[in-house]
Amino acid sequence: MREKVRKTITQFHMFPPGAKLIVGLSGGADSVALLHLLHRWQEEAHWQITAVHIHHGLRGKEADEDARFAEKFCASLGIPCVVKRYDVAKEAKLRRLGEEETGRILRYAAFREAAGGEGRIAVAHHRKDQAETVLMRLCRGTGLTGLTGMSPVRGDICRPLLFCDREEIEQYCRENHLTWREDATNQQEKYTRNKLRLRVLPLLEEINPKAVTHIAETAALLAEDEDFLEQQAEAFFAQGKLPSAGEEIHLSREKLNALHPAMRRRVLRKAMGNFLKTDVSQVQIQALEELLQKETGKSRDFPEDIRAENRYEALVFSRKKKKQAEGFCYALPMEGEILIPEGGIAVAVSFDEKFVGCSAETCTNVFDYDKIKHKLFCRTRKAGDFIPLQNGRKKIKDLFIDEKIPRDWREAYPLITMGEEVLWAPGLRASAAAGVDEQTVRRIWIRIRRV
């Protein structure tokens, strides 16, 4: 078993030399064997090992004895031992979760607190734990990712015993004269994992004595498939991205619809994963696939203020604005620059082209001053706004639609107006009524820049 564990640590680059290791020590055979093994290699690897024992407050004196056992065992190895005490039953009620799930959350919180953001966390999950995990996920419904079970390494969590059998772990303990504690709650079937361990796995082993081994091996094979498919999804995600503004993600609807459904779901999951802190559910992916087939302008809201919206050729992922942009209206000086905080812009007007200048960060246009009959304003749109063109005029509403301006941008889009008539929709169109021609005597330049 020693060589199997050493190979796992090396293969998955679990603990670099000199690393800070936090070892979860329950007092059971698995965690006792893990801590003992890591201690044997501590000197040559220069690891800084600390054991953390969690007292869940559920088993009275028996739990107290487990804590004393953990402290005594660590003292015999010369390893620091931290005992964290929780009232899991109380916490479970407050969180409205089961005791099993609450205990898991508190354990890993304690491990990460001890690791301090830099350390690695070693836990003692083995092959039978892996088989139980796969079966649990099958029972509640899962995809390929769920069927891969627990990863040898996930972030700062490492599982050096994942490819070891429970029997060889206990044999290691006996060979090294190590004692361990048996948790009486492991025999209580009120916990889901215990039901699988005590009732389901024995039945499967009657069908095939190597059922646990085969389930764990299947999970490992599927993990390789999953890794390859994720690499492909990353490539398709990059290929399908369109230019976007701010923190939005724009994906080509055409390219998404051309993908195989299995790959499309993965790409959509990646896009959502850029915004969601929690795992993306299958229900959410189905909602996105349905949205893809609808017309432009349709949207779907998700938890954490996430919105997906069809914008012409793109499926756009964004975080919903907490507050609708406010309208604004500012009179423009004939010489000088004015700040418009609601629009995040500054507008400069001048008879001197050098004053306004041009750059990649600005949008500038020139007009015939003698054709401007009213005072200039910078404002947001009003109902009925139009802009004069060579062959008539066009409503600003229709202009925004034709130019594919996102709906939530339209209410804050800055327009330059002369009186009630739109002179310029920056970046889109300028009025034909005030354009420069051969008869122009006086020119006026208007520049908009982001601030």
Output phi, psi for 54, to 5 deg: -105, 120
| 313, 242 Cβ separation under 8 angstroms | yes
Domains, the chain, ordered by start = 2-223 (3.40.50.620), 244-319 (3.30.465.60), 329-450 (no CATH)
pLDDT tens profile 53-93:
999 988 889 999 999 999 999 999 999 999 999 999 999 89
Residue 121 has pLDDT above 90, yes or no: yes
> Cα–Cα distance between 301 and 233 in angstroms, integer?
24
User: Helix H segments across 98-200?
Assistant: 99-115, 127-140, 144-147, 166-175, 192-195
Least confident of 15-19, 266-270, 351-355, 368-372: 351-355
User: How, if at all, do strands 421-425 and 415-418 pair?
Assistant: antiparallel
Q: Is 283 exposed, middle or buried (0-12, 13-18, 19+ CB in 10 A)?
A: exposed
Angstrom distances, CA of residue 194 to CA of 12, 135, 208, 287, 297: 29, 12, 20, 35, 50
Confidence grade of residue 354 (pLDDT, cut at 50, 70, 90)? confident
pLDDT tens profile 28-40:
999 999 999 999 9
Confidence grade of residue 143 (pLDDT, cut at 50, 70, 90)? confident
**Dihedral in degrees, nearest 10, Cα atoms 152, 155, 158, 164:** -10
Sole residue written with tokens 């709906």: 407
Confidence grade of residue 286 (pLDDT, cut at 50, 70, 90)? very high
Q: State if pTM tops 0.85.
A: no
